[in-house]
Chains A and B, each alone.
Chain A
Amino acid sequence: MTALVIAEPHGDTLADATLSAVTAATKLDDEVHIFVAGSQGAADAAARIAGVSKVLHADGDAYAHMLAENVAPLIVSLMDGYDAVLAPATTTGKNVLPRVAAKLDVMQVSDIISVEGPKTFTRPIYAGNAIATVESSDPKLVITVRTTAFDKAEAEGGSASIEAVSGEGAAGISEFVKLDAVESERPELTSASVVVSGGRALKDAETFEQYITPLADKLGAAIGASRAAVDAGYVPNDYQVGQTGKIVAPEVYIAVGISGAIQHLAGMKDSKVIIAINKDPDAPIFQVADLGLVADLYNAVPELTEKL
């Protein structure tokens, strides 16, 4: 049987989240096809992913911004040939896929972290405080994939054929106006190998910048933040790591002045190595940290930055 993966286009390439969804798909089906709404470059990138045998490419303005109202009906029309459709659990996947599921009269399985059988999966519930094993009884599977739980498929090595697909085009009930993208030279938060995150202890936006940025620069790291730091306005909302923000699992996660609320831990506890710097020895972050330093960040962080 064949699974269809919904790619996450990113200009002329694909977001890495796509590669994790491909890996999840290969655990379900022998053959994996991939749907790309967007540029030719993105379709070409999809064709090079190891393990993908066919790319379905939807071109045209109606599909350029992954508007759910336009893309979902097209995906639904393709589903006769597939027993499963998977998308990364990014904001794009989470927006589009339930719309596909409802049209197929299928109950979606959201945010899977493992494939346990042909129709059985595990997924976190209650903000990651419990893990549910669920089995679907629907004829087709509609799944979003927690990307940090699956290795990335090789981005190179495949040579899939590319087939153009088209549908009704614009549904005429929604339009893309703009994307205020956060421009940054840094690695993207969810795919960075090192992440430096700051919490409420950083006091204000200037202090956050003054202490966190040089350390991140030194390590070539992405910058994250706790919800408290985001709510206090130190950094924009897309920096937020946690159950309600981004889920990250870098090689090294450095938490600076973060106490470690459950909400935050849910977003980073799968990191390979967690390092915590906090002046409160009882902070919950130390219960999950591999390396902890009990110190005032205002002394420790500049010293660390200098000595690295």
Chain B
Amino acid sequence: MKILVPVKRVIDYNVKPRVKADGSGVDLANVKMSMNPFDEIAVEEALKLKEAGKAEEVVAVSIGPAKAQETLRTALAMGADRAILVETDDAVEPLAVAKILKAVAEEEEPGIVMLGKQAIDDDSNQTGQMLAALMDRPQGTFASKVEIEGDSVSVTREVDGGLETVKLTLPAIITTDLRLNEPRYATLPNIMKAKKKPLDTKTPADYGVDTAARLTTTNVSEPPVRQAGEIVEDVDALVAKLKSMGVA
């Protein structure tokens, strides 16, 4: 079985995003970019399945600018076998991403498409579900455990009320949540090796997908700032305040 892992290049998790003064977006010039953390978890899970003998090949794919090659090289350094870059400088919405991924999946025929539950830039949380819909495949979203059992996969999902387990017929789409695993670091020898692994470059037009945006972002602003209140002296003062608010 082959596992296809879509990865996205996003602002690094540790960088505090700054809104541009003209309201046109978030300033990404000279900002450290990395692989979306949820996608890193997806790469790790795919590699674990390969190491456990459940999969033969892990293929990473990214849709984005030429620099998304760096993100794919990271996936290759972690252990993915080869990579595909669908190159575009446009901002591509989840629906168009799902359409491109569907076309890639039709060529690659993976048993599992494993991807992050959301990207930490637009926080849409849609791509995996949309891909599953377009392909009429089952979806195991927000996964915290993945177990392949013959021609099906058991996925434990992090839901609001606890943990839900679903059984999906393969091929299936799985989106990863934070507690699925701890992604490995790429070692220096593997980073060197990754430079020689195959990386194909395509365009959305190669797959016949129209990436025109359906949503227009008319403004991006700072969230309202909450004012700091007062520091109370001791527990008695806190209790008095709470009582005056009617809390206790």
Contacts and interface: CB of A to CB of B under 8 A. Distances in A.
B159 A177 contact: no
B221 A131 contact: yes
B215 A262 contact: no
Interface string A91-103: 1101111111111
A217 interface: no
Given A137-B215, A238-B162, A308-B248, A293 B179 contact: no
A303 interface: yes
A94 B17 contact: no
A125 B221 contact: no
Contacts of A109: 215
A292 B230 contact: yes
B245 interface: yes
B230 to A, nearest CB: 7
How many A residues touch the partner, as a band? 35 or more
Interface string B118-135: 001111111111111110
A293 B178 contact: no
A165 interface: no
Interface in A114-131: 120, 124-131
A244 interface: yes
Interface stretch (B1-9, B66-74, B103-111, B234-242): B234-242
Contacts of A110: 123-126
Contacts of B214: 106-107, 136-138
A80 to B, nearest CB: 18
Given A244-B178, A286-B231, A291-B238, A174 B166 contact: yes
B229 A289 contact: yes
A154 interface: no
B124 A174 contact: no
Contacts of A177: 154, 165-167
Interface stretch (B82-90, B136-144, B201-209): B136-144
A134 B122 CA distance: 12
A131 B217 CA distance: 10
B196 interface: no
A34 to B, nearest CB: 19
Contacts of B148: none
B190 interface: no
Contacts of A194: 247
A130 B133 contact: no
A64 interface: no
Contact of B164 (A97, A178, A252, A269): A178
Given A105-B95, A108-B94, A135-B216, A98 B129 contact: yes
Contact of B217 (A132, A179, A227): A132
B166 A135 contact: no
Interface in A204-248: 218-219, 227, 231, 236-238, 243-244, 246
Interface stretch (A18-26, A45-53, A66-74): A66-74
A180 B122 CA distance: 31
B187 interface: no
Closest 7 CB pairs of A and B: A98-B129, A290-B229, A107-B214, A102-B130, A102-B133, A98-B126, A174-B138
12 contacts: A65-B164, A91-B142, A91-B157, A95-B139, A98-B128, A128-B223, A129-B16, A174-B169, A262-B16, A275-B242, A292-B229, A307-B236
Interface of B: 11, 16-17, 19, 26, 93-95, 98, 120-134, 136-139, 141-142, 144, 154, 157-169, 172, 177-179, 213-223, 226, 228-232, 234-236, 238-239, 241-242, 245, 247-248
Given A175-B166, A180-B162, A275-B242, 8 more contacts: A90-B160, A91-B157, A92-B160, A99-B130, A130-B26, A238-B158, A252-B242, A292-B228
Interface of A: 15, 65, 67-69, 72, 90-92, 94-103, 105-111, 120, 124-138, 171-182, 190, 194, 218-219, 227, 231, 236-238, 243-244, 246, 251-252, 262, 269, 273-275, 281, 286-295, 300, 303-304, 307-308
